[in-house]
A and B are shown apart, each in its own frame.
Chain A
Amino acid sequence: MTIKAMKASEVAKKVVNNEPLFILDVRNGDAFADWKIEGGNIQYLNTPYFDLLDGVERVVSELPKDRDILVVCAKEGSSVMVAEMLSDEGIDAAYLEGGMKAWSEHLEPVKVGELQGGGELYQFVRLGKGCLSYMAISEGEAAVIDATRMAHIFLDFAQEKGAVIKHVFDTHLHADHISGGRAIAEATGANYYLPSKDAEEVVFGYTALENGLEVAIGSSKIKIEAFYSPGHTIGSTSFIVDHQYLMTGDILFIDSIGRPDLAGLADDWVGDLRESLYSRYQKLADELIVLPAHFMIMEELNKDGSVAKKLGDLFKDNHGLNIADEQEFRDMVTKNLPPQPNAYQDIRKTNMGQIAPDEEVQREMEIGPNRCAVR
């Protein structure tokens, strides 16, 4: 029997459509416990490949007959070996092409809405890491917000849509993933905007992103307005696009809020975070659709695979927006925080241009979940 490769894009479709899947994850126990493919209808078995070298008999009885079986490892090699061994036992199993590395890099573009004058807004969902990026397109011009490292995906997408990328924004200096913003700007000649308060140690040229900055794309002038909302970092800036959408960066998520500690200053920034969430955002229209830079759990995805919800609904449902007591809020966002993201210090240095690791090292640095939120 020949074994099949399953692409990350096929796994993504299954996750979004909630289709049944059985994952035999053959990475070591720690790697599996730290980070895995998440999905509402996925069953798992974790048995390291090195415990299967003498034979796969020990797992055969645990594999279901009524679901597709996918063998997963870090890079692919071990999952091919195990899938072949299963095939020798007469079991039909696929392996994940490119392993968890490919899963971490896969982006699923989802259209989240229309802009006036025929424009479109896309969200790029990085299912494997929970990162969300955006592209607004109008009449042959595009703006990109919080692009992830895989710059070519954004460049190709704009080209397919016949759009020229004019503006590239990062809502803040990211600590959990490497930004693709600078590479996209260099490839297209677009302006690369960074909040200047986050960019004090940045060693390349950028355009300062200040409160109230406005840019327009396309001749119908889709407006993108910058809105200073510190707290995750001191420079964190939100965007209001076309009076309809609120891009919150890492300040406000669907089911959680930003953490203030990744640049090392939790106690200093907790007050800013409180003010952004409980004062600045409160003044905005409830009808705005919140588009964050991350999701943490699959339950935050809508049925179409997008991550978006009305601001008014978040004020009702998001626990982090409903803590009346200031001290309780302070404790929640500064104590018992989840572990910091893998290699976050080096990721920040890379995003500031201070170090330039090769692509393979950058991949390794981004392994694991994003952990930018507090629930």
Chain B
Amino acid sequence: MKLPILIFLLLFGIALAEDAPAPAGSASNALFRVQSNNQSYDFFQPWSKKPPVNRRGVGVVVENERVLVTAELVANSTFIELEHPVTGDKSAATLERVDYEVNLAVLRADKPEFLGQSTPLPLNGPARVGDLAEAVQFEANGGLAKTQARLTSVATAPYPVDGAVFLLYKAALPLQQRDGSFTIPLLRDGHLLGLVMRYDARNQTADIVPGVVIRRFLEESAKPGYAGFPRLGMSFSDLRDPQLRRHLRLQEPGGVLLTDITPHASAESAGLRKGDVILAVNGIPLDQDGHYEDTDHGRITFSHLTNTLTPPSTAVPVTILRDGKKLDLAVTMRPLDRNKSVIPSHHSDSPPGYLVAGGLVFIELSRAYLREWGPNWSSTAPQRLVHYDAFPNDLPRDRGRLVILSQVLPTADSIGYEHLENLVVTKVNGQEIRSLKDLSKALSKPVNGFHRIECEEDPKILFLDAASVEKNRDTLRDHYSLPALERL
């Protein structure tokens, strides 16, 4: 993330002419400046937060007196403020709902009547490649600055935060620097067509969350118990190779091959398996790339049908080919259960758990932890951990979370262990470890006065003196100024 933002700022430093302010209409009435102070956790020192950063964007007033922004704008926010672009009136705001998968969030102003005069901006769409729209930013005086965008692609693609795939617009957009780069509304005929969530200043292209995803988010997130968009929880590959098609005894012209499946997710619960060929979804046949003809968006991947257009808990009929025979299954679409993911892919807002015992620091492995190795983390982070992240389904089923000994704070109890880091813990005091909670429980039952910690890598077995660890707790906390020795 850091690089695109930097490029953005550099380019805007030499920005030239500004567009003429547009006459105030319903759009200017429904847009607010949003400023968010964000502080992410330091996963190498999970008891600390990193220095705060400030992000700005343009929020859109939607139904029920809420303000829509991208999730990235308010990720790990500590303080959010709305500002009226003309009067400069400000109100603190509360994050009402956030979904990092679709990169959307809604805010509510803390001051009653703050949004008083504004009218919600209706959604626009669908759109096709070549359509024109306007990206809207604010001038310093509160007037609207509009830049014309031309859609260059309408397709499903990975979203920024955790790589989930949803429909995404791409647009050619020669944007100029004004405050607010983390959310820029894209309007057509005064209606909201999408939100710019990522801008590439060098190529002048924007990634946009389309109205159809926004609509689903606004509808569903208002309901109690919202847990995100439904997901199939599987990977597939195209079936263009005629030799492979003949081998699978495929008569139909289309179909895709299911290549990986997430335990317990919608697809697996419905009985789908690795090696199945998916021929049709909702009665609509798929082509060899998994595309179907969407009435609104043209030829796009079927995951749009299942993950965005299908309301949660609805069953979607799926026709498959297994061992040369056709089968009809019904897939009940549910969101992924984050508690069951082996390695959580994003980790915002909730503080990372940790446990420190005798100076040994334990955490649960997460993508956020691996990202601490920097932009090239997949080659610079410990390769065993990177491998677990890349191939979580190669781990034993229901392995649980991977608890790792991430580092050692030298103490009298950890003499000889100072050099250890990033070891995967398998057992403690004879108990299998599948979470930090397991670890905490196991550490309450030392064996013969010792904690026996087993891990996958050398030295394989570590011991701590249970009584001494207990006795030195306060000293350890004070010496390293830890707020607490555990957060489970």
Question: Do A and B share a complex?
Answer: no
Interface, chain B (partner A; CB < 8 A) = none
| A contact set with B: CB distance below 8 Å | none
